[in-house]
Structure 1
Amino acid sequence: MAIKLIKISSLYFLIAIILGLIMSITHDYSLTPVHVHMNLLGWTSLTLAGILYHLFPQLEQSISGRIHFWLHNIGLPIMMTSLFLLILLENESFGIGAAIGSIITVIGIIAFVWNVFIHLKRPS
């Protein structure tokens, strides 16, 4: 799971950087929220989680670790796609998708925090 998180985070990084490049070329920064969220919740957060899961296998092996993995990786694409369409099409109906994706992602991150507090311990 650790390696999968790091690989997935690398894809978010690539997409975010390409989006940033497109915004710079066009001088249209309306998609900045998508760019920022992909970098923070996709690239940075998932990379750090992957590193923690690699360094501390007990985190990766827990139920809360698997819940985090799946909810974060289901919620974030829903949130990012919806936010992208909300901004690009200026259609408020995509706001519900952004909200649903955000809630799923937050629940996943709550599972991550729970996992760290419950399963991360000093080696005996």
Structure 2
Amino acid sequence: MGIKFIKISVVYFVIGVLIGMYMSMTEKFDFTPVHVHINLLGWMSMALAGLIYVAFPAAAETTMAKVHFWLHNISLPIMMIGLAFLVSGTTAAAPAVATGGTLMVLGIILFAINILKNLRK
């Protein structure tokens, strides 16, 4: 599980950097919220979760870890695509941001419960 988190985090890192490069080249920074969220929730959070799961394999082997992985990777694209449309002026995208955000929070809560329950000295 830890390796899966680390590998997918690198994909999000590349996406976040490419969005940043696009904004720099065009000098249009409308997608800054998307860039920031992909880097923090995609790259940093998933890489750290992956490292934690590598260090504590008992937590990585749980169903909660698997559900966290899938909730995170389903919700983040939904939320970020919705946010990109929202900051571009499509107000109808707000439910996608809310849905993706809610699923993300649920995934993070599962991660927290998993860590608190399964990490041992």
**2:116 matched to 1:117?**
yes
Q: Which residue of 2 aligns with 1:72?
A: 72
Matching residue of 1:57 = 57
- Tell me the alpha carbon deviations over residues 22-56 of structure 1, each in whole angstroms, 9 at most, x when there is no partner: 10111111100000000000000000000111111
TM-score, normalising length: structure 2: 0.97
The 5 Å alignment of 1:1-124 reads 1-88=1-88, 90-122=89-121
> What's the RMSD between the two structures over aligned residues?
0.8
> How far apart are 1:120 and its partner, in Å?
0.5
SS at match of 2:29: coil
Distance in 2, Cα, partners of 1:18 & 1:69: 23
Where do 5+ consecutive residues of structure 2 fail to align?
Answer: none
Secondary structure of the residue that 2:120 maps to in structure 1?
A: coil
Q: How many residues align?
A: 121
Identity percentage over the alignment?
45
Can you list the C-alpha shifts for 1:9-34, whole angstroms capped at 9, x where unaligned? 10110010010011011111110000
TM-score (norm 1): 0.94
- Structure 1: give runs of 5+ residues left out of the alignment: none
